[in-house]
Amino acid sequence: MLLRMEAKLAGVCTPVFTSHPVRWLGLLALCSIYILSGVTKLLDFGSAVAEMERYGLLPARPIAAVVVLFQLSASVMVISGFLRWIGSLSLALFTVLATVIALRFWEMPPGQERFMTMNMFVEHLGLAGAFLLVAWYDLHRWRRGDRDWS
Mean pLDDT across 70-90? 97
Degrees to nearest 5, angle at CA 34 with 31 and 35: 85
Q: For position 60, what pLDDT does the model report? A: 98
Would you place residue 7 in the very low, low, confident or very high pLDDT band (cuts 50, 70, 90)? confident
Residue with more model confidence, 39 or 143:
39
Reported confidence tier of residue 148, pLDDT bands at 50, 70, 90: low
Assign 66 to helix, strand or coil: helix
Name the pTM for this structure: 0.89
pLDDT at residue 32 in the model = 98
Residue 1 confidence (pLDDT) above 90: no
Average pLDDT of the segment spanning 3-20: 88
Higher pLDDT, 134 or 2: 134
pLDDT of 143 above 90: no
Q: Tell me, what DSSP letter sits at residue 145?
A: T
**Cβ neighbours of 94 (radius 10 Å):** 17
Rg (the chain; Cα; Å): 19
Give the span between the Cα atoms of 95 and 5, in whole angstroms: 38
Residue 68 pLDDT > 80: yes
User: Exposure of 45 by Cβ count < 10 A (0-12 exposed, 13-18 middle, 19+ buried)?
Assistant: middle
